[in-house]
Structure 1
Amino acid sequence: MNTIVKHRRTLLAGVAGMSALTLMLAACSGSSSDGSSEGSGDGASNLNFLAINENETIPTTLTTLSENECKAQNEAQPLKISTQAQSTLDQQLQLLAGQGALPQVFISANAPTLNAQLAEQGSLQDVGEALDTLGISDDILPAATSVIENLYDGQQLVLPTELNIEGIWYNKQLLADNGIEVPTTWDELVDAFATLKAAGVQPVSQAGKGGDGWGVTRWVGNYIARDLGPDALKAVRDGEAKLTDPEYVAAADAIADLGANGYFGDSPTSIDYSTALNTFLTGGSGFIYMGSWAVSAFNDPEQNKIGEDNIGFMQFPEVTGGAGSADQMPANVGTALAISAKGFADDTATQDWVRCIADNYGTVALRDSGQVTGFAVTGDVEVSPLSQLVQDQIAAVDTSILWFEAYFSAEATTTSQNDGGLLASGQLSGEDFMTQVQSNLD
């Protein structure tokens, strides 16, 4: 184990220019929560938190806080957790916001544009203003603040429960057994896939079922960034380019080709996030594209059967002749927390909870789950080698890039992520995929 010490200082000065936020994940089913906010200001009601099925780290960390560091806050206002499938989260948040019934704390929307809309409507609390009000702005690392503000035009709308890098993780032993050096270019990566496939090993484990197709669309977005440069998707947002332009279609075609060759497995449209991760961690595939939020699973011996020492990380490789660089790292603040404006303004007990979360979340998440967050950490915390690897990688980042759907509307995001699995299975051409997504942007 490695020991790191951070005394409320900037975690990574080198990433102050990051401009990404998450996204990430997706699945199915409905909510088990009515999402109603019961805050009354007297501390007698619950602190309602709407979680998602696909992320266990956040509710686990909040539960730990309720039993220890935030015990007093929990006695005044007991934590009550309900869950929602990520694929239906945005729809549920829109419904609750329309009813004036958002819970005090909840997982922020998949689409950043929806978070911005909720804030504009007065439903979502500006977290930056809340932290200023409570006098605890220093609890958020400047790097994380920069990521959020760059995405939300200067506003700090969410709490960063993660500070992630994204890239390709690989099984060291499988690569060694098949004589594969860690790829540094796209052509080398495709050759590695072909070698594994010929040896009877699934090259890539990637979810493609329903909304879990976000893992596939990450490949599209990163290929675009490597080929056309880090601002290529911003050009689409600004109307200077379209996803249906030939150079953008070429990126989707490159991923469709992987699917047509079976490199994502026999039936990626039937694979959800948990299954894809399990396939990699049980030695069933050579590679997986994933964010560093998965390190908590990598550190769990009950999930990780190939061993921590057997997992390596590589940056998304360069495309020959492309305008982008492998040094430009996909980065985000993960599955973030949002606060309802009504819940925060009307309830001093909720404000006490927000203060306690900001003060302690980063330390507990790192200590118990190996999760690198955007919160400051106090004291000495032992971390696993993989968690240290993440911190080292983040420290080396000079330029970060956005994920594929970062600037998309909620509708376009849903279309993209639902169609990702079809792209990975070779059932959808790059042109058809881009046409369908662009139609939601026009």
Structure 2
Amino acid sequence: MAAAVSPVIELGEMRHGDEADELARAPLRPPGRLARVAAVCCVALLTLAGATSPARPPAGVRVAAPQGAVFLVLAGRLVVADGPGAVGQGGRVVTGHRLPGGEPVWRFILPAGDHVLGLDALAGGLLVTSSPAGAGDTVSTLLDPVTGVVRWRQTGYPVSTASGGVLFETPRASGKGTVLAVDPASGAVRWSLPLPTNGVSYRMDDGGPTQIVLVAPDGRVEVHDADSGALVHAGRVPPATDRLSYRFTQVVADLLLVDGAPGTVTAYGLDQLDRRWSMPLEPPGGVWFVECAGMVCVRDQVGGVRALDPATGRLSWVDDSWLGLAPIGGRLLGVGPEELSVLDPATGHPVTRLGRWRPTGFGSDPIRLLGLRRLPGDRTLVGALDVAAGEVRTRAVLPGSWNECADSGTALVCLRPSGGLMIWPVGP
């Protein structure tokens, strides 16, 4: 699945006026707190390829879509769903369109009462995740993206693994939930594991989960291979303080984090379950942890980031000025109110400043991450963001304003804020 378990961290939104920024900008000293994201951006100078704005692309092709629609570019098709954010729509219809012409080629309708949660790519197919309006389990349906024919259905919330497999979670408050693995080609169930009351955590790499981590209320920890389901190792941590369930369990940067005494979280090495460090949760319930390319980042409701050394829990750096961070290829992409930057995760120091862009395309394809920038005359500059290289390549200048865009390699597909999609042929 292209977008499941996406490692994107609270990117938020940047708003800009109609400004004509230079396509190449000198580095400035980045703000302090989200230094991982901001720092990397500000230190290095980014020269944008194609500093001269290209001519407008040929006239785009309109495709009907409600406000807040979900869309995905896959196998030469534009797939559009009403989606959970659609305004005034039932969210039951998924349509496939040819690229770049936009001609409708198939239509898939969910059962009455269901609505679309998301679209993802899986093993060459299109995975449509949906949920009933009332009580009931999430359901995933794999379609042929070219024809719209149903290949298989499975109950549960999908999580794609690093090996190209897929897991389905069906949590239960009673502790009788399951996580099961399905053959992506046939939909056949390969194996399943019972879920504890507090659910499941995953050890991740850049491609997705590699291990499944289950923590029982009595403190027993089981680590299973995400591909085979085999038990890798087991051990124990202190039992839940209320003896019913842990309030908090999470795997971050090869650590197992669990809530210990009230208002604290304790980190254990996932391989040996050795106790590493403990820290207070301030404010209680208002802090969460995210992995930042090997570091442990702590976020709160106010914004900004504290980056901790995973071995000791000591504070490595703080930056309060960035809205969000996304680990990409060993670097951190920092999103601020005025710019994007690439950061060194170990120090938070800026490596490259990418400039004033609003990122888009995470849900479609992280390899084809795009940035949008407003230009005078009601136009939008679209750039291809290369985080690893610290570069932005101009893709097109489009008329109008756009919320989200996806890049097929030969066409851009963009959603208007008021609804409606446009396909712009722009070449590779």
- TM band (smaller chain): under 0.3
TM-score, normalized by length of structure 2? 0.25
Task: Work out which of the two has the higher radius of gyration on C-alpha atoms and give 1 or 2.
Answer: 2
Q: Looking at both structures, which has the greater relative contact order when contacts are Cα pairs under 8 Å and sequence separation is at least 6?
A: 1
**Which structure shows the higher strand fraction?**
2
TM-score, normalized by length of structure 1? 0.25
**Which structure shows the higher helix fraction?**
1
